[in-house]
Structure 1
């Protein structure tokens, strides 16, 4: 028995961690990701690879039936899909992440929850959970300077096998039946497949379910379906400085610049990861963590500029992302888009360049002490003084950007917009930010 325990301890000294983040739990996610990086524990793409299940967000409704797509459903189904030995922890306090992970590791070593099965999820909700990613972390990048290019057609397998852009599994539902047949653009009769993505995938907006109708390799139709989440009185983490300033609090321009810098680095880390550039994603997230930890402007500038140069000089990244999800400025305005996606006036690559430019400028301003203008209500994803949250406009733009594109490109398009579903859960107090300046 003691030998068995020793072997288990050795096997789980660096457990595979599956993160399940609820909308509104950005602060917890950032704290967990920083601690995992410090420990050298890897995040995995799906339940089959996981040892430790880390759930981020409030525990309200944990054991309740919240209806189709509700948080209780997908958490229970993910837990069921993790093979024993396994353990799970729920992180609600960003300040106690280390304690939570230590507790989970101890449970894993003891086999505390190895046979602890959550209640069965209703069959009607099964499709939300069986398709989670199984990332293959490639080590074939050219000296870490470029993302791994995709296969000729994104590795599309109509039987639920490997799917992906730049070597990533896109997460089809196993055994999902073909719905019917229809004519494609070449007049051929091709199978039509309905594919849900989300709500829990690595490098994916928390709480987003995207339902795609595929014909061959092409997305014929896309529907956005956010997970149902109770309204929150707390401001979205990334928008917090501007909303607090608008409500009359004294917020320095430096604090706002620091949050903006970290927000765009967070988006860039997701973008690089989905494009297959894992080394660059890890470095970008390290700088994000330094920004959130209060690093001085001089340090941040010295850290971000090499990253910016690497991204701008990567011909492979340009080749992978140019032409994907083109959103002209005029169409963006019509759809209510007000942030970087409007400024970019172009495709996924253009949106990345806008993020890089904003990171460079905001890193240099992190030490500015003068007060933020309360009328300057523009967060990382757009204006916060309009009736529609900026991420709502981004989500509304997604279907048209995805329709007609190759399935292997869908995740890059989503990552290039990076909608923040925290904005959809926030309920503003009466009389706060409304008017458009």
Structure 2
């Protein structure tokens, strides 16, 4: 699903932290009614949670339709009141109503749900109708018409970009632009737009707060959700960090993790560019490599994919020149790994990933131990003063400033920072093992 405006179900895997509630609410409010949010706290409960969500959505769709009919002129003359409140056939409790919601608003129409299937309960967001900018009193159970109109216009586009917009003011819930000097010293409208933290083909947890004038990015502030300080190693860096701590790790395991990481990054960039078929192939190969498929089973397919990406002129034309990062500049800001070796733009970084994937085939099925002093993970050196992805985040503002808004996601995807790496400093012996 490309945007929340095209979705009707928000699935949260794992139990969210209390501070995650704000941005989860923002994503849910970007979804058109009827919409459902479910929390699957344990992996074994996901299938059951999805089945229950499907039944609930069907019930809510019927209820929503009946509520529409009930609001039509003359509908109440026929006594059609039974549609309101149906679909809540599960036990519910109101555990996340905002403070301003009042009891007399609960029967305005069907309410949004949050179903916590990780613990076997159903929680309803009965208080959401209390937000005036989402639920005007004269619209009954419907959302504001501006909300619906925005799915094909400005609000729909902004809805998938983030969960809040900080502007000088709002009219009917729509953000108003400010004025500011552009690079030509002209006074033009400025719009502050956050992107993230949850988008398809986007680094999970990353938030960019952009200042736009027209379609040009004038300023960038990099933010992210809190990285849990749990004592676990980042998935993509795990083989090298374990070897650095003295564990026996085979070269095959490290080679597979590196190839899979680059295929994952390439698939994300190709999906953003619109090469969905090749992106899907990269992800399939990523899964096969991680699952332990023998080299003979993936060799030909991998090489064909690498050649297809490298020979495509339309692909090169679409991303060449975006996010130019020279090797000298990368080295100066502490960037290591493929982004440093690429010595160029988004297209060069994509080719570097594919080249390393092809080169990594030689390490598959190699049972020799990984050298303990090999500290080069998929995104760079793991024994430096800061995690590799921190350097990628630090260089993002200068690469995005001056770029067109439509190119911002391509530049981010071409760097593909892994926010899990930001917890390296809190992992005992990981960063400087």
- TM-score normalised over the length of structure 2: 0.73
Name stretches of at least 5 consecutive residues in structure 2 with no aligned partner.
61-86, 89-109, 114-123, 135-146, 166-172
Distance 1:221 1:247 in 2: 41
**Secondary structure of the structure 1 residue equivalent to 2:188:** strand
The answer to whether the Cα contact below 8 Å between 1:184 and 1:215 also exists between their aligned partners in 2 is no
Distance 1:162 1:49 in 2: 11
Structure number with larger C-alpha Rg: 2
**Secondary structure of the structure 2 residue equivalent to 1:75:** helix
The answer to whether the Cα contact below 8 Å between 2:266 and 2:282 also exists between their aligned partners in 1 is yes
Q: Does 1:74 align with 2:73?
A: no
Q: CA deviation at 1:231?
A: 1.4
Closer, same or farther: CA 220–91 of 1 in aligned 2, 3 Å: same
Closer, same or farther: CA 181–245 of 1 in aligned 2, 3 Å: same
The answer to whether the Cα contact below 8 Å between 1:87 and 1:105 also exists between their aligned partners in 2 is no
**Secondary structure of the structure 1 residue equivalent to 2:207:** strand
**Secondary structure of the structure 2 residue equivalent to 1:350:** helix
Distance 2:4 2:430 in 1: 42
Q: Does 1:49 align with 2:2?
A: no
Distance 1:401 1:347 in 2: 10
Structure 1 or 2: more helix by fraction: 2
Q: Provide the residue aligned with 2:179 in structure 1.
A: 180
The answer to whether the Cα contact below 8 Å between 1:252 and 1:368 also exists between their aligned partners in 2 is yes
Aligned length: 350
RMSD of equivalent CA atoms: 3.1
**Secondary structure of the structure 2 residue equivalent to 1:210:** strand
Closer, same or farther: CA 95–316 of 1 in aligned 2, 3 Å: farther
**Aligned mate of 2:321, from 316, 320, 323:** 323
Distance 1:429 1:213 in 2: 35
Closer, same or farther: CA 432–405 of 1 in aligned 2, 3 Å: closer
Distance 2:45 2:241 in 1: 26
Q: Provide the residue aligned with 1:32 in structure 2.
A: none
Q: CA deviation at 1:85?
A: 4.1
- What does 1:193-272 align with in structure 2 at a 5 Å threshold? 193-272=191-270
Name stretches of at least 5 consecutive residues in structure 1 with no aligned partner.
1-43, 137-156, 164-168
Distance 1:364 1:89 in 2: 43
Q: Which has the higher contact order (CA 8 A, sep 6+)?
A: 1
Distance 1:183 1:226 in 2: 27
Q: Provide the residue aligned with 1:9 in structure 2.
A: none
Q: Does 1:345 align with 2:343?
A: yes
**Secondary structure of the structure 2 residue equivalent to 1:205:** coil
Q: CA deviation at 1:120?
A: 5.6
The answer to whether the Cα contact below 8 Å between 1:53 and 1:89 also exists between their aligned partners in 2 is yes
Distance 2:45 2:255 in 1: 27
Distance 1:353 1:122 in 2: 51
Closer, same or farther: CA 170–87 of 1 in aligned 2, 3 Å: closer
Closer, same or farther: CA 432–199 of 1 in aligned 2, 3 Å: closer
Distance 1:432 1:227 in 2: 22
